[in-house]
Chains A and B, each alone.
Chain A
Amino acid sequence: MLWVILIPLAAAAAAPLLHRLLRAHVAAVLAAVPIGLALAIATRLPLEPGAAWTEVLPWIPDLGIALAFRLDGLSLTFGLLICGIGALVLLYAGAYMRTDSRLGRLCGLLLLFLGAMLGVVFSDDVFVLFVFWELTSIASYLLIGFKHEKQDARDAARQALLVTGAGGLALLAGLVLLTIAASQMGLSTDQVSRISALTTVDLSGHVLFVPALLLIVLGAFSKSAQMPLHFWLPNAMTAPTPVSAYLHSATMVKAGVFLLARLNPVFGESLLWHLLLMATGAVTMLVAAAMAAGQTDLKRILAYTTVSVLGTLTMLIGVGTELAIKAAVVYLVAHACYKAALFMIAGSLEHATGTRDIRQLSGLFRAMPVTAISGILAALNMAGAPPLFGFIGKELLLKAKLDLEYLGVVLILIASLANVLLIALALVVAVWPFFGRRCPGVTLAHEAPLLMLLGPLLLAVTGLFVGLIPGTFDSALGSAMATAISGRPIVMELKLWHGVSPVALTALGISAATLTVGFALFLRLREWLAHIAIAVARIGRRGPARVYDLLFASGLALAERVTRLTETGSLHQYVRLVLLALIVACLYPLIRCFPVVSQLSSSWHWHEVLLVLLTLVGAAAAVFSRSRLSAIALLGITGLLIAVLFALFSAPDLAITQIMVEALTVILLVLIFYRLPQFTAFRTRLARVVDALVALAAGTIMAGLVLATATVHLSPTVSEQLARMSKPEAYGRNVVNVILVDFRAMDTLGEIAVVAVAGLGVYALIKLKRRRRAEEGTA
């Protein structure tokens, strides 16, 4: 199963190159990857409820983290959706951006996302899942910001990344707490992060259970755009339309719902879980539907209805009864199909007319018949009109709530309200662009190319097909998926017509009523749209997006203030600050080891002390020298005296090296600084005195540091070991050289690399300048 994830990632890496070779055909060629994967996954069909395959590869055994993958009803359904819609989106993108030079990048990123998303759904280890989860956030960031030259695309991308990234952090914290709880409840290390193992223990009594639950739910909500973290999703519509169709309706935003479904068996016994999901889901469902009615941009309408549907799914998982799970399964699959189709149609409409404003699009049926038929089918599916798949979903949803008695009534009211709005909007999407008077300015409208028709048409027809013979779906997949979500065996038998029972009739009645009211609302919507839009905009300004903006702005302001305070750009101040910090930090520890240091006794010879004194005089003379060349000469002498010190204290290699380098340094400095003006005093006398005091104090600290090293008793075993091995094992008598080229050759390799880079750096600095001069000269 690892291959299933690695293949699209490899294809993603190859995409830009392939684009260079194949130009616009790259998308069609790359679409073969998800098609092949979908077929490979589909070989597991039909799936028995409860059937699962697992695969475990070791990764970080010390932490019990393994590359564990699991294929069951839930992951298989998602896998098919990801690959199937992914293939259609790639084909669509190939036509949508046919002449764009960035098509290769788009395809690559889409495949990167595809691989990451497959990783999320197939992972059986919570931390592996988390890694892929974050990878989808990154892919989403790159795709939203695809048109990075536009400010709003960059803002939207950053917003999505920050919101889902913050949610990701919460998720990680929650997962860590969950595994801690699980290990304390008796799971072994290699099982503790395994999702399939987590479901087998009851964690609800553990003190970390509630914090873990809240954090994980927060992470899932941020990804699936639940209120109040929904605002990033409509803004993400600045992404190219294939991206919106794929990431921000069909797959990525469902990752949150997927996670909730995946962990439902773990948290399903908790009342808090049910209440939290139901409440958030219900609020999101209704508010997002209302906000959708106030949009004029077709893609934003679709985005808000997506948020609404995600709310519905969250709510259904929260309800958690058998019927609710069934409803969630159907709703999820149906939504993925019709919403992706609608987004692609929105893209085709924009492609053909140049606008996505729903008030301007009209009368395009004759110009774009196939697009129109696909759009109408998909929109009816969205409205839940019989005999489409969406209708079955809605019926199930109503029945699931009727099942709940008191609470059900509230939920039905909310759901029906939301439903009315969604139906009206679905009709808007189905009718306004295609019927009525042909709007001016779209005379050039033409049917979309074949590849852009394929996706919407296939997806719309799938909705119809599954709606007409729902039995195929539930026997092949649905039952297994529902079983995987609930953790208990569920057998689904979906039907269009449920016979004459009180529950079925009530559901049918409500369904018919919402359709009627929705239709009525649709008829008035054109007049009301402007008013709703104003109201929605007013609410939006005070909503959670405002909080985000405030947080973001204050973060920036703080960063700016801190930077202003610390980054003055003055080298002089930096050095002073570093030295003062050095003095302050080292003073106390040095004073503490003074008693030991004061007892140091060591022998000394006159010639050695004389040498040291000469070195000091040389350095001091170099510091105070007025002439640059004499300073260079004095520095050279100082270096040579140090070389003699090395020679005196048993370091012949160092002495030779130092002598050579000193000679070269003098040549180098003369070459570089020969033609510069004499020193000028830049500092005032007072500043010089202060600097001298600071330097002296810091120098004293360093001298103390040398003395303090005497108090540290390093274990001599390493040196002894190396000296003993030098001759017999490395065939060298000069231990220093043997260390350099044999024992620690890896370090030396790094060091000569630094030397090489510095040399090349000098070369570049000089040659580049000269070349630029030459160019300026000729120009």
Chain B
Amino acid sequence: MFVVMALLVGALYAAAFYLLLARSTVKLIFGLLLLGHAANLLIFSAGGLVRANPAIVPSGVEAPLPGYADPIPQALILTAIVISFAVLAFAAVLVKRAYVESGTDDSEEMRTTEQ
């Protein structure tokens, strides 16, 4: 499953990169979104894939059952998901505003209108 996940991460990255390379700033935002997913899954896979044993201590015991999923990558990803959302919102509004001001969503054309 690890190899399959690696392929998924690679494919998500490729899709994100392809969108980032598109000159459309709207696609850029979509690329950022996919990039966030890809990065989260990269960290998640690197932490090891564990089925049906989250790092939650069962009631009445002092420590989680052996073989639990690593909680540290999960904590990292959890905040990353929320931050990605906030930053994505900012970037999207920025792109929208750039479109309104410059009349185009082509990043190359924006560059020429700047000068």
A706 in complex: contacting residue of B6, B83, B93, B94, CB < 8 Å: B6
Q: Are B52 and A650 in contact (CB under 8 A)?
A: yes
Q: Are A703 and B7 in contact (CB under 8 A)?
A: yes
A230 to B94, CA, bound (A): 51
**Contact of A740 with B3 at beta-carbon distance under 8 Å, contacts A572-B108, A616-B8 already known:** no
**Contact of A727 with B57 at beta-carbon distance under 8 Å, contacts A570-B108, A657-B78 already known:** yes
Q: Are A651 and B74 in contact (CB under 8 A)?
A: yes
A199 within 8 A of B: no
Q: Are A723 and B74 in contact (CB under 8 A)?
A: no
Measured between beta carbons, the chain A residues less than 8 angstroms from B59 are 733
Chain B interface bracket (under 10, 10 to 19, 20 to 34, 35 or more)? 35 or more
Q: Are B4 and A604 in contact (CB under 8 A)?
A: yes
Kindly report which residue of chain A lies nearest to residue B85, judged by CB atoms: A661
Q: Are A654 and B21 in contact (CB under 8 A)?
A: no
Distance in angstroms from B7 CB to nearest chain A CB is: 6
Kindly report which residue of chain A lies nearest to residue B62, judged by CB atoms: A727
Measured between beta carbons, the chain B residues less than 8 angstroms from A724 are 62-63
Measured between beta carbons, the chain B residues less than 8 angstroms from A620 are 11, 15
The prevalent SS among residues of B at the interface is: helix
Give the number of residue pairs across the A-B interface with Cβ within 8 Å: 279
Kindly report which residue of chain B lies nearest to residue A755, judged by CB atoms: B86
Q: Are B44 and A646 in contact (CB under 8 A)?
A: yes
B79 in complex: contacting residue of A699, A702, A719, A740, CB < 8 Å: A740
A751 within 8 A of B: yes
A705 within 8 A of B: yes
**Contact of A765 with B94 at beta-carbon distance under 8 Å, contacts A604-B4, A736-B71 already known:** yes
**Contact of A602 with B22 at beta-carbon distance under 8 Å, contacts A642-B37, A751-B79 already known:** no
**Contact of A612 with B4 at beta-carbon distance under 8 Å, contacts A657-B78, A736-B71 already known:** yes
Distance in angstroms from B33 CB to nearest chain A CB is: 6
Q: Which of A158-166, A521-529, A663-671 contacts B (4 or more CB under 8 A)?
A: A663-671
Measured between beta carbons, the chain A residues less than 8 angstroms from B89 are 668, 758-759, 762
A654 to B87, CA, bound (A): 18
Measured between beta carbons, the chain B residues less than 8 angstroms from A651 are 44, 54, 69, 74, 77
The prevalent SS among residues of A at the interface is: helix
A575 within 8 A of B: yes
Interface residues of A in 727-744 (CB under 8 A from B): 727-728, 733-736, 739-740, 744
- The interface bits of chain A over 734-777 (1 if a CB of B lies within 8 angstroms of the residue's CB, else 0) are 11100110001001100100110011011001100100000000
Kindly report which residue of chain B lies nearest to residue A619, judged by CB atoms: B15
Measured between beta carbons, the chain B residues less than 8 angstroms from A639 are 33, 37
Kindly report which residue of chain A lies nearest to residue B114, judged by CB atoms: A569
Q: Are B14 and A696 in contact (CB under 8 A)?
A: yes
Distance in angstroms from A594 CB to nearest chain B CB is: 13
**Contact of A692 with B26 at beta-carbon distance under 8 Å, contacts A651-B69, A727-B62, A769-B97 already known:** no
Distance in angstroms from A532 CB to nearest chain B CB is: 51
A559 to B49, CA, bound (A): 49
Measured between beta carbons, the chain A residues less than 8 angstroms from B24 are 679-680, 682
Measured between beta carbons, the chain B residues less than 8 angstroms from A759 are 86, 89
- The interface bits of chain A over 705-726 (1 if a CB of B lies within 8 angstroms of the residue's CB, else 0) are 1110110000010110011101
A628 to B99, CA, bound (A): 15
Distance in angstroms from B15 CB to nearest chain A CB is: 5
A754 to B89, CA, bound (A): 12
Distance in angstroms from B104 CB to nearest chain A CB is: 9
A294 to B53, CA, bound (A): 88
Kindly report which residue of chain A lies nearest to residue B20, judged by CB atoms: A575
Measured between beta carbons, the chain B residues less than 8 angstroms from A669 are 29, 92
Q: Are A766 and B93 in contact (CB under 8 A)?
A: yes
- The interface bits of chain B over 49-85 (1 if a CB of A lies within 8 angstroms of the residue's CB, else 0) are 1111111111101111000111110110111011111
Q: Are A650 and B51 in contact (CB under 8 A)?
A: yes
Q: Are B92 and A668 in contact (CB under 8 A)?
A: yes
Taking Cβ atoms with an 8 Å cutoff, the residues of A that contact B are: 569-572, 575-576, 579, 600, 602-605, 608-609, 612, 615-616, 619-620, 622-623, 628, 631-632, 635, 638-639, 642, 645-646, 648-654, 657-658, 661, 664-665, 668-669, 672-673, 676-677, 679-680, 682-683, 691-692, 694-696, 698-707, 709-710, 716, 718-719, 722-724, 726-728, 733-736, 739-740, 744, 747-748, 751, 754-755, 758-759, 761-762, 765-766, 769
Known: A579-B17, A676-B26, A683-B23. 7 other contacts (CB 8 A): A604-B1, A609-B4, A649-B49, A653-B54, A705-B42, A733-B57, A744-B75
Taking Cβ atoms with an 8 Å cutoff, the residues of B that contact A are: 1-15, 17-24, 26-30, 33-34, 37-38, 40-42, 44-46, 49-59, 61-64, 68-72, 74-75, 77-79, 81-90, 92-94, 96-97, 99-100, 105-108, 111, 114-115
Q: Sort A-B residue pairs by CB-CB distance and give the 5 closest, nearest first.
A: A703-B10, A699-B14, A758-B86, A650-B69, A695-B17
- 20 CB-based A-B contacts, threshold 8 Å: A569-B111, A571-B111, A572-B21, A575-B21, A619-B11, A622-B34, A623-B19, A651-B44, A661-B81, A668-B88, A668-B92, A680-B106, A695-B18, A703-B6, A703-B11, A706-B46, A709-B46, A727-B62, A735-B56, A765-B97
